[in-house]
Amino acid sequence: MEGERTVFLVTDLKQFSYCPRIVYYAYCLPAVRPTTAKMEVGIAAHTTAKRRERRRTLAAYGLVEGERHFDVWVESKELGLRGRVDLVIETADEVIPVDYKNSRRRAGPHVRRQIAAYGMMVEEEWGKPVRRGFVYSLLTRRAEEIIVTERLRRGVREAVAAMREIVERERMPAPPRSRRPCVDCEFRRFCNDVL
Ligand code: SF4
């Protein structure tokens, strides 16, 4: 919280897409969240990726030159959002956020929204335009370009507003329509009404 305003993390956007209740638990009952083995494996994979990235050219991103900045913390006062970007590539006329993923799948809607959120924050803080970002797969070592459209930007604003409504009013949202996300959910023991 900053003053009375909640500042969310970009990773909350992903959780919110998975199930809005996770955001409620994380902010309204913050003491209950465990660190899972899956999260620790993810952190180790990202560290290895950064070591490799330093040795590579920018060809995976279709670029000949650009300056690489790793683990960049960014924040948007306007959005009330902050996060750490794995990599920001700075060229003469644009800045490009890159997010590393432990997945072979193409970027789904929540990953695209996450890239847009990073882009909006980098733009606000660095004062340079963000037109696109990349999702870099640590498994295939390929980068997928994501165009940061106005629609994606709107989706970020709407999701943050919805998260704020839940947290600041302390209203537990309804569960997702499908119960499939509940099977692997770390909060399932709190959702007696759905399981
Ligand atoms: S158990 Fe299901 S309803 Fe509860 S937080 Fe997890 S995904 Fe949401």
Average pLDDT of each block of 10 consecutive residues along the chain (195 residues)?
A: 78 91 90 58 68 79 93 93 96 96 92 96 95 95 96 97 94 88 86 77
pTM of the model: 0.86
Residue 33 in contact with ligand 1 by CB distance below 6 A: no
pLDDT in the model for residue 34: 58
Looking at domain 8-190, its CATH architecture is Alpha-Beta Complex (3.90)
Q: Burial of 60 by CB count in 10 Å (0-12 exposed, 13-18 middle, 19+ buried)?
A: middle
Nearest to 158 by CA among 129, 122, 120, 131: 120
Q: Using alpha carbons, list the distances in angstroms from residue 191 to 25, 84, 180.
A: 10, 30, 13
Task: Please choose from 22, 24, 27, 185 the residue to mutate so as to test ligand 1's pocket, defined by most ligand atoms within 8 A of CB.
Answer: 185
Whose Cα sits closest to atom 3 in ligand 1?
A: 175
Q: How far is residue 171's CA from residue 173's CA, in Å, rounded to a whole number? A: 6
The pLDDT value given to residue 88: 97
CA 167 to chain CA centroid, nearest Å: 18
